[in-house]
Amino acid sequence: MTLEAELHNEMIAIYESVGRETGYWARRYLQRVRRVGGFQAAKDWLKPNSNPTSGLQKLADINRLDLSLEALVLRQPWSSLFTNEELKTAQKRINVAASFRLSEEVDSNQKLVEGSVCQVTINSYERNPEARRRCIEHYGASCCICGFNFEKKFGAVAEGFIHVHHLKPLSEIQGEYEVDPITDLRPVCPNCHAVIHLGGKTRSIEEVKTFLQH
């Protein structure tokens, strides 16, 4: 069997693993794999301007990004079938999806305790993948407080990883509200994000910037 044919089978196998382990059956993924073949489907999904596979965020939420197509193509021997550009796209999407999970809005009743960030419920405004994507597209993936950039510090393995902070405290939001990615969200690094919310507060970006000078 060719490597491409093996990849096709593997892509169907991950569909089944995801369904069994998470209850999420990605039918459109399966249809596409069957229609154009796994190899071609993967190439299409990894075009820079195409959308990540729809289940990626679901897998990030349950900490099983290892079951994603993006993680699959990064593993041997499959990675040899893809270009550097495609592998970079896969890595970046995994990083962006992983940063949702860690990107927390802490409401005023919850304390941000070091190390507990992952257990805090994520605010739905910061979870909205489209809003996040547009925020990062507009402001870039560097922290808007200290300028930290994961790719610059850690290289391609961390490209695109950043928290997104929602400026309005949850307590001030009433009724129907639609997040505006440009006015309501800012990219912040996890350290600055922690300081914004330290003590259960929602400090302004400007206030935290003034702390930095100390």
User: If binding is defined by CB under 5 A, does position 189 make contact with Zn ion?
Assistant: yes
Nearest to 1 by CA among 66, 104, 77, 65: 77
What residues form DSSP beta bridges with 166? Answer: 185
Specify the residue, 141 or 192, whose C-beta has the smaller distance to Zn ion. Answer: 192
User: If binding is defined by CB under 5 A, does position 132 make contact with Zn ion?
Assistant: no
Q: How far is the CB of 4 from Zn ion (least distance, A)?
A: 43
Q: Which of 18, 59, 192, 194 binds Zn ion (CB under 5 A)?
A: 192
User: If binding is defined by CB under 5 A, does position 135 make contact with Zn ion?
Assistant: no
User: If binding is defined by CB under 5 A, does position 143 make contact with Zn ion?
Assistant: yes
Q: How far is the CB of 57 from Zn ion (least distance, A)?
A: 18
User: If binding is defined by CB under 5 A, does position 141 make contact with Zn ion?
Assistant: no
**Binding span for Zn ion by CB under 5 A among 49-57, 78-86, 141-149, 176-184:** 141-149
Nearest to 187 by CA among 108, 132, 150, 128: 132
User: If binding is defined by CB under 5 A, does position 208 make contact with Zn ion?
Assistant: no
3-class SS of residue 168: coil
Specify the residue, 57 or 142, whose C-beta has the smaller distance to Zn ion. Answer: 142
3-state helix, strand, coil in the chain (%, to 5): 60, 5, 35
Q: How far is the CB of 175 from Zn ion (least distance, A)?
A: 21
**Binding span for Zn ion by CB under 5 A among 45-53, 74-82, 110-118, 187-195:** 187-195
Q: Which of 12, 62, 102, 146 binds Zn ion (CB under 5 A)?
A: 146
Q: How far is the CB of 126 from Zn ion (least distance, A)?
A: 7
141-148, long-range: CB < 8 A, 24+ apart: 141/187, 142/187, 143/187, 143/188, 143/189, 143/192, 144/186, 144/187, 144/188, 144/205, 145/188, 145/189, 145/192, 145/205, 145/208, 145/209, 145/212, 146/189, 146/191, 146/192, 146/212, 148/189, 148/191, 148/192
User: If binding is defined by CB under 5 A, does position 105 make contact with Zn ion?
Assistant: yes
185 and 131 in contact (C-beta within 8 Å)? yes
Q: Which of 165, 179, 181, 208 binds Zn ion (CB under 5 A)?
A: 165
Q: How far is the CB of 170 from Zn ion (least distance, A)?
A: 10
Beta strands in the chain (DSSP E): 163-166, 185-188
Q: Applying CB under 5 A, which residues contact Zn ion?
A: 105, 143, 145-146, 148, 165, 189, 192
